[in-house]
Amino acid sequence: MQLYNYFRSSASYRVRIALAIKGLDYDYLPVHLVKGEHRQPAYVSRVGDALVPTLITDDGAALVQSMAIIEYLDETHPTPALLPADPLARARVRALAQMVACEIHPINNLRVLKYLVHELKVDEDAKNAWYHHWARSGLEAFERQLGLLAQERESQGLPPSLLCWGDTPTLADCCLVPQIFNAQRFKVNLDGLPLTMGVHVACMALPAFQKAQPSACPDHEA
């Protein structure tokens, strides 16, 4: 397999985590977003949305959108699973993942921030205020949801979760960790989020998350 990605892209980071959890080898193909390499004809001709990541399967199929890629990997390489077998638990994990991937990430994406600056002429302080507001409010919602899920697990006689759901990484953890990385990079206040940050600490103690982090990428700071 081949993965077209950018070391600081949170969507790419999600897929790298999933690949590392499953122990899958792939060729790392960097696409520098800040330099606009994702808009080059050679890349756009294969990728309709001209975004990263793109996974090229062993059969040569090009897959886009991180969530779809991760679920493809989970279906084709089911062990270890990134989604629980129980339908309700699976829905809980997907909901947590989507709180990050659909609610926080899109409005703080690089192309959104660049539009704010270049088209709407927002200054650096206002851009950062925008990022801080949406990241913080989204993570506060994530924290509340983790609290509700903890109560649900307790009522069902299930042990407390070390990670987002249970003690093994799921799709939700693959989404949360890159979002925290970005929040830290933009100096978002992460105080008062004990459940969320506890999950982050637990994830980052795992080899797969360490292997996938931006500082471990070959194009880091390229």
Q: How far apart are the first and last CA of the chain?
A: 23
Whole-number Å distance between alpha carbons of 212 and 6: 12
Is 164 a domain residue? yes
In-domain check, residue 222: no
Same domain, 184 and 109: yes
Rounded Cα distance, 127 and 198, in Å: 28
Identify the domain containing residue 21 by its residue range: 2-80+212-216
Could you report the per-residue pLDDT of 37-87, keeping only the tens digit for each? 898 988 888 888 889 999 999 999 999 999 999 999 999 999 999 999 999
Q: Are residues 93 and 76 in the same domain?
A: no
For 174-179, what is the mean pLDDT? 98
9-20 pLDDT per residue, tens: 999 999 999 999
Q: Do 33 and 60 lie in a common domain? A: yes
Helix/strand/coil for 194: helix
The tally of domains found in the chain comes to 2
pLDDT tens for each residue of 208-219: 999 999 999 999
CATH (domain of 160): 1.20.1050.10
Q: For residue 221, what pLDDT band results from cuts at 50, 70 and 90?
A: confident
Q: Which residue has the tokens 């499953």?
A: 22
In the chain, the amino acid numbered 178 is P
Lowest mean pLDDT among 42-46, 161-165, 171-175: 42-46
Give every CB contact of residue 31 below 8 A, 6+ residues apart in sequence. 4, 5, 6, 37, 38, 43, 52
Q: Are residues 22 and 95 in the same domain?
A: no
For 14, the token pair is 């999600």
Report the length, in residues, of the chain: 222
Identity of residue 58: D
Cβ–Cβ under 8 Å, residues 80 and 22: yes
Quick one: 74 and 120 in the same domain?
Answer: no
* Confidence at 222, pLDDT banded by 50, 70, 90: low
Query: Which two structure tokens, joined as six digits, stand for 117?
Result: 């600056």
Report yes or no on 16 lying in a domain.
yes
**201-215 as b/e, with b when 16 or more CB fall inside 10 Å?**
ebbeebebbeebbbe
- Can you tell me the distance from the alpha carbon of 67 to that of 88, in angstroms, rounded to the nearest whole number? 19
